[in-house]
Chains A and B, each alone.
Chain A
Amino acid sequence: MIALLLRDLRLATRAGGGFGLGLAFFLLMAVLVPLGVGPEPALLARIAPGILWVGALLACLLSLDRIFALDFEDGSLDLLATAPIPLEGVVAVKALAHWLVTGLPLTLLSPVLAVLLNLPGPGYVWLVLSLALGTPALSLIGAFGAALTVGLKRGGLLLSLLVLPLYVPTLIYGAEAVRRGVDGQGALTALLLLAGITAGAAALLPFAGAAAIRVNLR
């Protein structure tokens, strides 16, 4: 399983691996939004939590279809399904690898971009915390969606439609945690709910994803 994780990380960081695509998208969004809505600091400060969370979510979505589609096309998925590692483990490891190359860099980059969006000072801690707790859920839900659509021609559209509604709770609680943090209200409840979503996704979705892959490989 560690070999699979290392291979996925190596593939993502080599030329053409798609590492940086999500980051570049996140950066573009944070740069373009102030240009689009105007430079008024109070307005930017108010929308910053929502914009940053939506940006992170869409940046995650961008690379989801690569999680299993590439392995399906080159036959690796067949071979992984017959390998001694359980398919549930394969799904979990692939979600982890996806998080390490998208969610984690987004989380680390977010304070820099928050400056561009004039996020008020108290919000930074909550932004990083909420992204760190919430983005693993995005990768796990995405891996499940990718498993459901693997093998479909142009499954990317269907994948987005399937996954977006499942992303909504994460987005709501994530942005809410940052907003409450900015306002000085207790953000702990939203963070706990976010952590709950991630924990639930980590417990259930590798099994659901593996079952979906087994059906799709037939």
Chain B
Amino acid sequence: MGASVSHDLPHCLRLRRPRSLVGSSGCRMDLTITNLACARGGVTVLEGVSLTLAAGRALVLRGPNGIGKTTLLRTVAGLQPAVSGRISPAPESLTYAAHADGLKAALTVRENLAFWAAVHGQRGVDAALKALNLTELQDRPAQQLSAGQKRRLGLARLLVTGRPVWLLDEPTVSLDAASVALFADVLRGHLAKGGAALIATHVDLGLDRAGVLDLTAFRAQGRRAGGGFDEAFA
């Protein structure tokens, strides 16, 4: 198994090697989640999730629909607060790719990507377009793209964020087999540069150093999350 996955606390607190600057996608970054519980709509869906994802590794999240894969990814991304537990590094090192790609229909492919590159203070739009085979489409408005092409553009955004840890929620939806292979290559390149990826997917991406974590083991007993805004308004 590529990533070490543990349910017990002390195992996860072991010392890791010091970080060093590697690759174009920033510094090597280990993702450590310690005893995390996360909630959806005020109900705790997962608890006791602990894992360590070393730089250069990918971890695939598995589990039936509704188990909380998206909730876990959104919590790790910092979009919603954790009920309890710790996540390191801070959200500034993570980037999240959801079901929605964050594209503007009226802008061209290049303009869409250039915007996200500018927001993250990065360059490399051309390389990202090339990596996902979008160079020929670069001047086309995003509204004229097919679903799979839009998805590829959404995934190209990951490359211009310059962030080491990718949180991917069903990245291969609406991609054909060739595009899945293309994306798997991009992902392998990212991992080779010292990046890491936490992926919720049911598709085998053919990553040789990917671990698998079945979230069924962490299913919470449907308790209401303690306190907070959600409970007050539920």
Contacts and interface: CB of A to CB of B under 8 A. Distances in A.
A85 interface: yes
Contacts of A84: 92, 119-121
A10 B92 CA distance: 28
Contacts of A78: 79, 96, 98, 100, 102
Given A3-B115, A11-B107, A74 B101 contact: yes
Nearest to B141: A14
Nearest to B167: A82
A128 interface: no
A165 interface: no
Nearest to B81: A218
B135 to A, nearest CB: 22
A79 B104 CA distance: 13
B103 interface: yes
Given A75-B98, A85-B119, A217 B79 contact: yes
A76 B105 CA distance: 12
B99 A15 contact: no
Contacts of B99: 75
A217 B80 contact: yes
A36 interface: no
A74 B102 contact: yes
Interface string A64-103: 0000000001111011111111000000000000000000
A215 interface: yes
B8 interface: no
Interface in A2-33: 2-4, 7, 10-11, 14-17
7 contacts: A3-B119, A4-B115, A74-B100, A74-B104, A75-B98, A78-B102, A82-B95
B132 interface: no
Contacts of B127: none
Interface of B: 77-81, 91-92, 94-96, 98-107, 111, 115-116, 118-121, 157, 161, 229-230
B44 to A, nearest CB: 14
Interface of A: 2-4, 7, 10-11, 14-17, 73-76, 78-85, 215, 217-218
A80 B120 CA distance: 10
Interface class of chain B by DSSP? loop
B115 A82 contact: no
Contact of B96 (A7, A11, A82): A82
Contacts of A215: 229
A11 B105 CA distance: 9
B102 A76 contact: yes
B80 A79 contact: no
A218 B81 CA distance: 8
B119 A11 contact: no
Contacts of A217: 79-80
Given A7-B104, A217-B79, A82 B119 contact: no
Nearest to A71: B102
Nearest to B39: A218
A178 B157 CA distance: 49
A3 B118 contact: yes
A99 to B, nearest CB: 20
A11 B101 contact: no
Given A79-B102, A218-B80, 20 more contacts: A2-B118, A3-B115, A3-B118, A7-B115, A10-B106, A10-B111, A11-B107, A16-B106, A17-B106, A73-B100, A74-B103, A78-B96, A78-B102, A82-B78, A82-B79, A82-B91, A82-B94, A83-B161, A84-B92, A217-B80
Contacts of A16: 106
B78 A75 contact: no
Pick the most buried of B77, B79, B119, B121: most chain A CB atoms within 10 A of its CB: B119
